[in-house]
Amino acid sequence: EDQVTQSPEALRLQEGESSSLNCSYTVSGLRGLFWYRQDPGKGPEFLFTLYSAGEEKEKERLKATLTKKESFLHITAPKPEDSATYLCAVQARGGSYIPTFGRGTSLIVHP
Amino acid sequence: DAGVTQSPTHLIKTRGQQVTLRCSPKSGHDTVSWYQQALGQGPQFIFQYYEEEERQRGNFPDRFSGHQFPNYSSELNVNALLLGDSALYLCASSRMEGYGYTFGSGTRLTVV
């Protein structure tokens, strides 16, 4: 069974204080790993897809990296508008392609 | 280009009632998946529809059922509502072989 564990559950940062969110996964052959941002009461908004170990993707202050066991979402010099819940999901090969989600990390950036 | 559209946005129902939620997928997408997200939790997979058939189902009781129409839009029906069914219901669309899903804004269901 595919499993996704995100840590920490919650993170409070001061504006400009860089940090990283972790997503550890267990899957029988990774087809893709996804990061989403979710604002309160809204649907998840797609950020990145990573396909293989060593791959990195960047978007503004966010950078996602992937190893064979985990992914990191690095947030550089965050701003209050980066406050949201960040969700990680994995999609396995040779199966239903149904993404399995973690519980998310709730990020609050204080001005 | 319209994304995924869900209706209604909010709904309040009484325990024991039945509810229908609706979803229109993103243009070009033919597959619709439904997720339930309780407060503080990640989305939990309910089921997926492709070519008007249920292709995959998560660990949800038969009270949860769905339908996909020829235009790829979909409905989620929940019968005999329980208080524990209160959650944000998310619809996600994709191409059958696609990577990643596009989500709608969700329907907030409150059962009282």
pLDDT, one tens digit per residue, over A47-84 is 999 999 999 999 999 999 999 999 999 999 999 999 99
Q: Would the CB atoms of A4 and B42 count as touching at under 8 Å?
A: yes
Euclidean distance between CA atoms A74 and A48, whole angstroms: 12
In this model, does residue B1 exceed pLDDT 70?
A: no
Q: Give the tens place of pLDDT for each residue, B68-88.
A: 999 999 999 999 999 999 999
List Cβ neighbours of B94 (8 Å cut-off, separation of 6 or more).
B29, B31, B33, B100, B101, B102
Label residue B100 by pLDDT band (50, 70, 90).
confident
**What per-residue string of b and e applies to A34-67 under the rule 16 or more CB within 10 Å gives b?**
bbbbbeeebbbeebbbbeeeeeeeeeeebbbbbe
A39 touches chain B (CB under 8 A): no
Specify the residue for token string 């997926």.
B48
In this model, does residue A95 exceed pLDDT 80?
A: no
Q: Are A28 and A93 in contact (CB under 8 A)?
A: yes
Mean pLDDT, chain B, integer: 94
B99 touches chain A (CB under 8 A): yes
In this model, does residue B99 exceed pLDDT 90?
A: no
